[in-house]
Structure 1
């Protein structure tokens, strides 16, 4: 274990910067306690972006008045951090993605230099001063999760579990060999977020995980987000994509993902904040599409999100009440952190940006790259700053951005990284001590800091504290602290100690949030004997036309079906009669019908014959998708014919266009049946090489933001990419699914490449029409 004192840390930081830049830099102060008005008019030198020591970098930040930014760790104690988690001793476990983009072509990115390290503040001055390498020799690690006596580590393409013995790795177990299969660094699963319902969820993935003794359970869930994931006090998940401020779920995360034929379930992957405007405090020419009209404003500042990530629902107890459950979003390309205010209107969550024309935090330091945000054991907000020049991955790096990187010498150094915390000015942020005592941990389930509640729940379950069961059952009766009740409920679920009468009591609570928690826990407790006690309550909720509980009841039908088919059918019919025009209930019903949609449609004609009803329209859409999929070609044949093309599609195209080629909502339009895919080869080659800026019409529908990203990046900026590989991926998509166009040759790709060798920007459909 290496120890550093703060004064030595600053000295080493300056020394390393000097070695990399040959320019001595001077530490010039600490964080301003309030916003620095000089930053509004400070002239930024766009010819250089020097590395600044951490304290000087803080002085370049403009933070919301009443807050200050404090340093927790900086190089050489930490390098290229991308994710963190806290253990029950308040130590920071940090994922270091050391070899991410060593230069503009990613030279040596596959060298195993990534690490998981443990940082600790042993002298209690607020700054970490010891570093212990827990794991090294990893290739681009991206997420971790502490659970029981070990830690999950995501190292693409796999997910591993390491036992921990005296803060050192023990036995290694493969949990999922295909955790991050396909995609590239920007589009691979991450997060490993341990939620209220005791399952572990991810961004950019449709799987969830749970440890069950020595085994790991893996289940299908909704595909969510891109980088970073968080939850609110009710266990609902929030996430985003790089161009979308905030997305989220209206319902508990473990429900409604049981029908593979259903592409979208209302209430999941919803736009919570539709406003994607950003307000940098400096010109930001160094963004990937800075050459395009509308990307930068007249002052060369980014207009809309282009790298939104790391969302955090603030659940700490250090900020005042106006910040409770606000959602903060990082934007590393614009060097800022946004604040969103969320409002619940029964089931539906909507939000707006906190301020017109400014941000919660912004910096004039181009190397400030916030990529993840976290609540901490002290109630503060923690910021993970990769602190580097290159943030865009080579797969999508445009010639324009390469030139910007060269202008300001942004490639080096590669060994920087900072972790900050944001606290109210003058407040003493002190971590809560988590005792190894069952009774005290139960009390902490009602703590005002959400991190403390979550950790207490996890410790009780991980430690298998069955001795806490009586106290937990007593906590379920608390009428003054609903958060305590919710965490006690899920802790009992995690310990396998919930009883039927306890759940039915909560199902009858007047507070709808309590009812929905009880409904969400039912899949864990419904059995052949217990379901008869729950059934009358469920029937009453539907009969009373409880529109808040009804979607949850519908989601439960697959769990109830094997226990009592007749009762399930009757409950489904009653839901249809009472809620046939409710999109949330109808989609919940459809989510339970996998491979029985057409049979149910015949039954539905008698229950709700009006074709204009939401349930009829949505069901018909799903059936149309099923019929379309039946006409698709055998993917195994295409894989054999175009092995490189299939691999490239999985790496570069599938994450946005979907494995079925039918597009992904909020990201990209369909390739299956697209006239742009099956039509003129030269236009398709041009699009794939240099990208396409929307809107774009496909099969008679005009796709534009926010329905799609609005900007498809090209792959032709990589001069080392062989023409044969481009030809293969184009041939693969032109002959996949129901497409039946002829192949593309390497020579055809080479010809277009030569004709467009000076091009540096994406095409528009108007430009393509002239080719």
Structure 2
């Protein structure tokens, strides 16, 4: 049967189902309608001018959307940052998916441009090309006199000489090693602690003089990253509204043997429901039951990205600390309310049945959100029909793209700002006077505070030190101004242990205190190690401070050997069933896990203690890793398989095949991988919908595993190599897969479009 007929029948079945279905209330619109009526209403998806598209943007009452820039001033914007003059530096990913097979995606047509509003009317009126001839640029960050630019696979630092690109320095030759366009590192978010963090990555960077430091940290998110007032990081993946950290970002990743650390990569807002303003049949799995509702609207996130913790001070107190999340496949931006409970961070959606921002224009594709120097939220709109990358594009979605001519346009892009209705916020420009920058650390706008701190640190402005010390001594205790002063001193290498202990507020805000304590590694030395020990020992006696005390124990241990081990014993004996304490203890026990288990067992033989169970899991993981046979010989035997694993599978299942928290279950020791090869082939060709049980553990990952059977890049021989590779990698050992096996399964399920569930294989 011709493929187009198959796709047509699938879509007809969706329509027929909609005819008999009960219409749902859309929240925003109110009137009821069935899917066939909705299909008629939105049968076409015309390309709209910026003014026309703006009219189709609907905001929460009390707010308005304003057009800041549009083509030809900006094209396909995917990331941006502001400089101290309030100018926008924008990454344009012009080459992304020119058509459904990605023809010409490697063209050197990406750019970094500078957009400026010279007359103060809120709209950009000048465009300067800073860099061109780039291939799919995806992130940027201003650092001192230069710009970090992520151009896969490299990370460059490019000096800025009068808005022209100067000397280029290679910071990381493998910044985006592995993965496809949807699954490569991005973000380059400069956090409160003076380090630059990334989404879809475990790396962080920092400039010290003319050197670039690179360290491993926790793996985080997929596209976009943000921070709150205390420097905690927030992110997400395509199917999950909001993820984030309970503890400061520079801690908890010291033990490479420890795969999961409580308090990091936590699910902050588990509610993934979406409320589009229009039908959204053009999603990759739109034919599957439960993906769309009766009026063809997306039910749950499928392309969540670009999270922003709002810190602008312009919207009012009810919005401070709220988390906004973009969903381009549903043409909307969601608002979540986030709150603290000791060191836990939890959140909920702000509304049921409606969104903060939504559009009836199908080509409105918000892919990133940024806080501006005026306190507004800036929305980057790629303004495209195609946002799904070719690697996972289903025949169903290809048909949708063709039906409404969604391939075009390729030369559009818009940037909006969201402001309180009737307001005309002014972009604040930062000068370079030391006293002005120090004063700006107390601004109501988090962007201003961040930028002022960064400018002081980048300039290594020593004249600021006495002013910052005065802020610590005389500023209001427990305020964000004090935090910025403290971390500015850390960046100037002028912070002391006395500064840290004085800023700490006993019985104060836990999140504030954690941010203060995170600066301890920068100040402890041989002379003050004893005082640091006394301070940490006091903290360890309180359960809400014990995880932080334990994370920092090894700082003093470098100068007073044995202190760290003693503090660990104190906290695990006091709080043996606290998972955050347990994982903090394990994080400081790299390559000493067996001895730690023996010590715990000797103290208390109870096998149900949380710390014991979590430690035993780490020891088991170490054993599995040692048994790994994923060596060069396997990659040589299956070269195409190794490449496909690295670019398609590794980004969710991990390089070691042990899975990634909130993304995908393990492949190593998986009976799904090593069992019947026909089942595994079917899953890889057509995809899998969870939940998934591996080795007796149920993984309720929210994202579907997409199939690659429709991807023209991969031949049946390639897929056979991939499966042979994973079936014999790590500790797996199973029969190899050959091309004929793939062909047989294709024939068995000829015409199938939807993903499998594990129930179908029983």
TM-score between the two structures when normalised by the length of structure 1:
0.93
The CA RMSD measured in Å over matched residues stands at 1.7
Does residue 482 of structure 2 align to residue 485 of structure 1? yes
Aligned to 2:518: 520
SS at match of 1:565: coil
Does residue 284 of structure 2 align to residue 291 of structure 1? no
Contact 1:668 1:709 survives alignment (8 Å): no
SS at match of 1:655: helix
CA distance in 1 between counterparts of 2:757 and 2:243 reads 28
CA distance in 1 between counterparts of 2:480 and 2:558 reads 33
Per the TM alignment, residue 515 of structure 1 is displaced from its structure 2 partner at its CA by: 2.8
Per the TM alignment, residue 404 of structure 1 is displaced from its structure 2 partner at its CA by: 0.3
CA distance in 2 between counterparts of 1:510 and 1:74 reads 50
Per the TM alignment, residue 566 of structure 1 is displaced from its structure 2 partner at its CA by: 2.3
Per the TM alignment, residue 599 of structure 1 is displaced from its structure 2 partner at its CA by: 1.2
The structure-2 alpha-carbon separation of the partners of 1:246 and 1:607, relative to structure 1 and needing over 3 Å to count, comes to: same
CA distance in 2 between counterparts of 1:696 and 1:517 reads 38
CA distance in 1 between counterparts of 2:457 and 2:714 reads 50
Contact 1:371 1:385 survives alignment (8 Å): yes
Contact 1:36 1:62 survives alignment (8 Å): no
The structure-2 alpha-carbon separation of the partners of 1:720 and 1:237, relative to structure 1 and needing over 3 Å to count, comes to: closer
In the alignment, which of 420, 426, 429 is matched to residue 422 of structure 2?
Answer: 426
Count of matched residue positions in the alignment of Structure 1 and Structure 2: 730
Contact 1:478 1:485 survives alignment (8 Å): no
Correspondence list, 1:441-590, <5 A: 441-480=437-476, 482-507=479-504, 509-511=506-508, 512-542=510-540, 545-590=541-586
Per the TM alignment, residue 710 of structure 1 is displaced from its structure 2 partner at its CA by: 4.5
Per the TM alignment, residue 57 of structure 1 is displaced from its structure 2 partner at its CA by: 0.7
Per the TM alignment, residue 226 of structure 1 is displaced from its structure 2 partner at its CA by: 0.4
SS at match of 1:79: coil
Does residue 751 of structure 2 align to residue 758 of structure 1? yes
**1:189-236: per-residue Cα shift (whole Å, max 9, x none)?**
000000000000000000100001111111110000000000000000
Aligned to 1:739: 732
**1:229-264: per-residue Cα shift (whole Å, max 9, x none)?**
000000000000100000010000000001111111
CA distance in 2 between counterparts of 1:703 and 1:347 reads 26
CA distance in 1 between counterparts of 2:521 and 2:529 reads 10
The structure-2 alpha-carbon separation of the partners of 1:631 and 1:224, relative to structure 1 and needing over 3 Å to count, comes to: same
Unaligned runs of 5+ in 2: 1-25
Per the TM alignment, residue 757 of structure 1 is displaced from its structure 2 partner at its CA by: 4.1
Greater mean deviation of Cα atoms: 732-741 or 682-691: 682-691
Per the TM alignment, residue 508 of structure 1 is displaced from its structure 2 partner at its CA by: 5.3
**1:430-464: per-residue Cα shift (whole Å, max 9, x none)?**
01121110011001001000000000000111111
CA distance in 1 between counterparts of 2:98 and 2:474 reads 55
Per the TM alignment, residue 652 of structure 1 is displaced from its structure 2 partner at its CA by: 0.5
The structure-2 alpha-carbon separation of the partners of 1:554 and 1:695, relative to structure 1 and needing over 3 Å to count, comes to: same
Contact 1:286 1:405 survives alignment (8 Å): yes
**1:130-186: per-residue Cα shift (whole Å, max 9, x none)?**
111111111111000000110100011111111111011111111111110000111
Per the TM alignment, residue 479 of structure 1 is displaced from its structure 2 partner at its CA by: 4.3
Greater mean deviation of Cα atoms: 197-206 or 511-520: 511-520
Per the TM alignment, residue 634 of structure 1 is displaced from its structure 2 partner at its CA by: 4.2
Per the TM alignment, residue 765 of structure 1 is displaced from its structure 2 partner at its CA by: 2.5
Contact 2:29 2:277 survives alignment (8 Å): no
TM-score between the two structures when normalised by the length of structure 2:
0.94
CA distance in 2 between counterparts of 1:710 and 1:459 reads 40
CA distance in 2 between counterparts of 1:745 and 1:758 reads 22
Aligned to 1:313: 309
Does residue 679 of structure 2 align to residue 686 of structure 1? no
SS at match of 2:418: strand
Aligned to 2:121: 125
Contact 1:573 1:607 survives alignment (8 Å): no
Per the TM alignment, residue 41 of structure 1 is displaced from its structure 2 partner at its CA by: 7.4
CA distance in 2 between counterparts of 1:739 and 1:258 reads 28
Greater mean deviation of Cα atoms: 514-523 or 277-286: 514-523
Per the TM alignment, residue 507 of structure 1 is displaced from its structure 2 partner at its CA by: 3.5
**1:369-400: per-residue Cα shift (whole Å, max 9, x none)?**
00000110000010000000001000110000
Correspondence list, 1:566-715, <5 A: 566-704=562-700, 708-715=701-708
Per the TM alignment, residue 641 of structure 1 is displaced from its structure 2 partner at its CA by: 1.6
Contact 1:40 1:281 survives alignment (8 Å): no
CA distance in 2 between counterparts of 1:766 and 1:513 reads 44
Per the TM alignment, residue 36 of structure 1 is displaced from its structure 2 partner at its CA by: 12
Contact 2:81 2:89 survives alignment (8 Å): yes
Contact 1:678 1:739 survives alignment (8 Å): yes
Aligned to 1:719: 712
The structure-2 alpha-carbon separation of the partners of 1:273 and 1:590, relative to structure 1 and needing over 3 Å to count, comes to: same
Aligned to 2:171: 175
Does residue 223 of structure 2 align to residue 230 of structure 1? no
Aligned to 1:187: 183
Per the TM alignment, residue 361 of structure 1 is displaced from its structure 2 partner at its CA by: 0.8
Aligned to 1:353: 349
CA distance in 1 between counterparts of 2:594 and 2:650 reads 28
Contact 1:477 1:485 survives alignment (8 Å): no
